[in-house]
Amino acid sequence: MSATPHKPTVTEREARQVAEAAREQDWRKPSFAKELFLGRFRLDLIHPHPMPADEDAQRGEEFLAKLRDFCETKIDSARIEREAQIPDEVIDGLKEIGALGMKIDTKYGGLGLTQVYYNKALALVGSASPAIGALLSAHQSIGVPQPLKLFGTQEQKETFLPRCARTDITAFLLTEPDVGSDPARLATAAVPDGEDYILDGVKLWTTNGVVADLLVVMARVPKSEGHKGGITAFVVEAGSEGVTVENRNAFMGLRGLENGVTRFHQVRVPAANRIGPEGAGLKIALTTLNTGRLSLPAMCVGAGKWCLKIAREWSAAREQWGKPVAFHEAVGSKISFIAATTFALEAVLDLSSQMADEDRNDIRIEAALAKLYGSEMAWLMADELVQIRGGRGFETAESLAARGERAVPAEQILRDLRINRIFEGSTEIMHLLIAREAVDAHLSVAGDLIDPDKSLSDKAKAGANAGVFYAKWLPKLVAGPGQLPRSYNEFNQQVDLSAHLRYVERSARKLARSTFYAMSRWQGRMETKQGFLGRIVDIGAELFAMSAACVRAELLRTTGEHGREAYQLADAFCRQSRIRVDELFDRLWTNTDDLDRKVVKGVLSGTYTWLEEGVIDPSGEGPWIADATPGPSKKDNVHRPIR
């Protein structure tokens, strides 16, 4: 029997408990980034830079050559932008060369590429068309293949993975019209009915959902006899009776994106299609995203490389006051920023990806930092490119071509990249997610101490445990290799990078001391200090990027590939990054966070409505959030499978 789902009423504490239960609690492997936040600079975990096996590299390079030829001869990016749709023949061609199965094991018909080469492929195809990059990424990084690879049964893998590798496009459905980063309020229901489940609910922003053949759907199973219940993951055939794609959404960028609204009404799903046990859905989603998040910075790296190419070519051709604009300092500093940052982003991506492939380290924080840092820095690089191009940067490629100039889509890349700061965890949510991991050691020893619901005896016990931990830990934050002039001296070649690594080591200890001070000052209120936590995370991201840049430069030096130039770029990046880190440290304690909270209260209470006078609001009528009441669809099905 089915039941009408209802939207759960959830308190802040309950929402936090749901998120905490889904979080991977254990650290069974070392983590460079986790150690960094604890004030321990474990260079040995990332240096010497790990390398792919020769066989993996050969297989990856062969596919990249095939993909490059396809991108150059079969993809018309301007047409996709103009028609707001990827042509069916392009998707068919991608299927033929195996692009749907890049990460799927060869025994299921996939290409079996490593994370490193999968990301190189996404950077390449994403530079040809960001919409195609998004389609392939959503299909393989978070769609059906990844959760099945991690949590699926052998039967599920044999049933679905061959389809995913060659023919079937997949999508991941978690978000709902009134549920974003707070999944405790998830309303889509999956009610047990014999050997099946009956799905009812509405999902929003279903990337690939309009053309998908298979869906990963997160739904809430009600607790009942024989059923543990909770948020659960299912593989659903997109063509099932009762599945309706009600709308194909349109956005400021990624105009070829097949993103929609999907309604489920009395959709019957076999229990054999459930991924993992009941109640494991959020854990599956978060674990899937741990490495899945690396696909976004991959495309950000591709964007940075393109921005650098255009900035170089344009700034050499465009003259102002008797010399190329590149040699005017105001423009030159922007070009230097793009070049240095692209080098660092690629360093972060390749290092994180190779560590993911080797599986020696836990990279959940590294992947999250790569996503956060990559999406923010790529947006800045694209913005600087538009500025370097001036009026031409604001003009569309189509308009440029119409008046006889090179069709450079600078404004398009700015629009296309903007979503990456929201996709798969917004910057604000990433700050909180990473901060939770960064302060995990503190909460694990002092959690009961700051929990208002714990008894005095629990608090006393927690206090004793915390005392032991901090007595051992705090003295180690006073001094370290960063204060010794010859530390990391192998990085002192024609350019001295050792000084930057000493800075990272000192800053990591300072970061840990700052976190400890904040914990002792705010205790249980620490989690409400989102401004402070965001800056802590941003400092960690910069320190990780500096470390990766130096390690990559040394790798390139020892392999004889542009070593001297790599050292110069790493040096430039680290000098730029250190300025940002110093400013972030200052802003930990000197900021307007308290004042901002007062202003926000005033804004929401209507105190400043007089400030809004004198304008016209061109917005249309309608509710802020669409009604998602379960029931039969009243709209035409715009589902468009590509066969």
Cα dist. 391→36, 227, 304, 386 in Å?
43, 62, 20, 8
- Cα separation, 291 vs 488, in Å, equals 30
Helix (H, G, I), strand (E, B) or coil at 159: helix
Return the sign of the alpha-carbon dihedral for residues 258, 264, 269, 271. positive
Alpha helices in 32-85 (DSSP H): 32-37, 54-74, 77-83
- The residue whose two tokens read 């016990």 is 461
With beta carbons less than 8 A apart as the criterion, state whether 300 and 374 touch.
yes
CA distances to 166, 356, 375 from 302, rounded to whole Å, are: 25, 20, 12
Residue type, 441: A
612 DSSP 8-state letter: G
CB atoms within 10 A of CB 618: 5
- The crossing angle, in degrees rounded to 10, of helices 593-605 and 530-558 is 130
424 catalytic per annotation = yes
Q: How far is the C-alpha of 557 from the C-alpha of 539, rounded, in Å?
A: 27
Query: What are residue 196's DSSP bridge partners?
Result: 193, 270
Strand runs labelled E in 178-213: 189-193, 196-207
Residues sharing a CB contact under 8 Å with residue 271, sequence separation 6 or more, in sequence order? 192, 195, 196, 197
Q: Which residues contact 157 (CB under 8 A, 6 or more apart)?
A: 108, 148, 149
Retrieve residue 20's tokens: 């905490």
Could you tell me the two tokens for 236? 């659903």
φ/ψ region of 162 (left if φ > 0, alpha if ψ in -120 to 50, else beta) reads alpha
Strand, coil or helix: 89: helix
Alpha-helical runs (H) found in 75-205: 77-83, 88-96, 115-128, 130-137, 145-151, 154-166
**Adjacent-strand bridge partners of 244:** 263
Q: Who contacts 642 (Cβ-Cβ below 8 Å, separation ≥6)? A: 88, 91, 92, 169, 211
Q: Which of 81, 346, 384, 424 is catalytic?
A: 424
Task: Give Cα separations from 534 to 18, 297, 436, 538, 579 (angstroms).
Answer: 22, 19, 11, 6, 17
Helix, strand or coil, per DSSP, at residue 553 = helix
CA gap 262, 207 in Å, rounded: 11
Closest to 584 measured CA to CA, from 373, 300, 334:
373
CA distance 211 to 170: 8
Token pair 């200052």: residue? 586
Please give the structure tokens belonging to residue 132. Answer: 């195609």
User: Do residues 258 and 248 touch, judged by C-beta distance below 8 A?
Assistant: yes
* Residues annotated as part of the active site: 424
